[in-house]
Amino acid sequence: MIEQKALVRDVFHNGVELEYELNSSCSGCASEDSCGVGTVAKAFNGKTQRIKVATNQILNVGQWVTIATKEANVLVASAVTYLLPLVGLLLGSIVGQKWLVDTLALANYSAILFGISCGVLSQQLGKFWLRKNSHLSPSIVIVAPHYS
């Protein structure tokens, strides 16, 4: 399980909006100063990200929680987010070239537009699929007590 502490920023029906700090493990690495990844990580130090998490728990704004997700869920969501649009773009471009340009004798830019359209369509399909499969989303595993 991958865990992250997050702050409740907004509460709504059947869910909350959480904010967490983006962090990397570069600060603990001996090669931090000579590594390009460490340099990029320093640029994003202190940045935050907001996500919405479905929950039936009663939470208050300003309360700290710990969210977690399985490593396999991260891999699946990453594949759907990044690989599916790429595959759609490539397959759309190949089909566009063979069908629109070679068979129908249309201009080359029609294959490019068809490939981009397939890439965008597959990205939207992946987005829809991820929304339907909410079990891939992080869940709240620990709720810290709220002190006013």
Average pLDDT, the chain: 87
CB atoms within 10 A of CB 86: 12
In DSSP terms, which residues pair with 48 in a beta bridge?
21
Q: What secondary structure letter does DSSP report for 46?
A: T
Q: Could you give the dihedral angle defined by the CA atoms of residues 29, 22, 3 and 6, in that order, rounded to the nearest 10 degrees?
A: 140
pTM metric for this prediction: 0.68
* pLDDT confidence band for 82 (50 / 70 / 90): very high
User: Is residue 28 pLDDT above 70, yes or no?
Assistant: no
Is residue 42 scored above 90 in pLDDT? no
Give 88-132 pLDDT, tens digit per residue: 999 999 999 999 888 888 888 999 999 999 999 999 999 999 989
